[in-house]
Amino acid sequence: MAEILVLDDVFDAAVLVGKILTRKGHTVHTFTEEQDAIDFFMENTVDLVILDIRLKKMTGLDVLALFKAHSPGVRVIMLTGYPTEETAIHAKSLGADEYCVKPIDRDELLEKAEKVLAGVR
C-alpha cells in the first residue's frame, strides 16, 4: 500500500479524501497548510500527492513544482474546483499525472489513484 499526501485548504475536503483512501488500506497524511505539507514531504517518502490548486498562500502548481524538483518520480493528481485550460496545461508541463475537477466522486477518485499508483510500480 502507498504513502499518500493530501493537501487541500478545506479541512473537511482533505479529511474526506483521506478517509476514502485510508479505507483502501493506504496511509494518508492530510494537510491544510502548505508549509506543513512541504516539510513533511521533504522528510518522508511519499508515493502519491493529491493537490488542490487553490491553497491559502501558494498555488497547488507552486507546490507541484517544488515536489517535482525534490523528487521527480513522485506521482501527482491535481484536484481543483476551478479548472481552466491554462492551469491544466501548466500542471501537465510540470509533470502532473492527472487533473481532476471537484467535486470528485469516490469511485472516480479511487480509480484515478489506483491508475496513477500502478504507473509507479
Partner 1 sequence: MNGLPLLPAIIVDIFGSAANIVFSFLAWRYALLLVKRQPDNFVWGYLHYVTFAIAAFAISRAVGHLVKQFLMIGGRADIWLEISPYSGGFNTLFMISVAAVMIFYHKGVQAYELLEHEAGKLKNANKNLAAAANQLRDLNQNLEHKVLERTEELSQSEKKFRHLFSASKDMVFFSDNAGRLVDMNDSGFEMLGYDEGAKELCLTDLFAGPGQAEIYNSMLGRDGYIKDLNLEFTRRDGTAISVLLSATAIFGEGGEMLGSEAIAKDLTKVKTMLEQLGASEKMASVGQMAAGVAHEINTPLGIILGYSQLLMDDFPEGSEQHESLQVIERQTKASRKIVADLLKFSRQSGSSRQLISMNEVLADVVAVTEHTLGLSHINVQLDVDRELPMICGDPEKLRQVFVNLINNAHHAMQDTGGRLYLQSSRDKDGRWILIKVRDTGCGISEGNQARIFDPFFTTKPVGQGTGLGLSVSYGIIHEHGGRIEVESPAPDPDPGMAAGTIFQITLPVRSAQELDTICRGDGMNFSGADFAGGHSG
Distance CA 59, CA 43 (A): 21
The residue from 17, 28, 55, 61 that contacts partner 1 (CB under 8 A) is 17
Residue 43 in contact with partner 1, rule: CB under 8 A: no
Interaction mask 91-110, partner 1, x per CB under 8 A: xx-----xxxxxxxxx-x--
Residue 25 in contact with partner 1, rule: CB under 8 A: no
The stretch among 15-23, 24-32, 40-48, 61-69 that binds partner 1 (CB under 8 A) is 15-23
Q: What 8-state DSSP symbol labels residue 8? A: -
Residue 84 in contact with partner 1, rule: CB under 8 A: yes
Residue 13 in contact with partner 1, rule: CB under 8 A: yes
Residues at the contact surface with partner 1, assessed by CB under 8 A: 10, 12-13, 16-17, 19-20, 23, 81-85, 88-89, 91-92, 98-106, 108
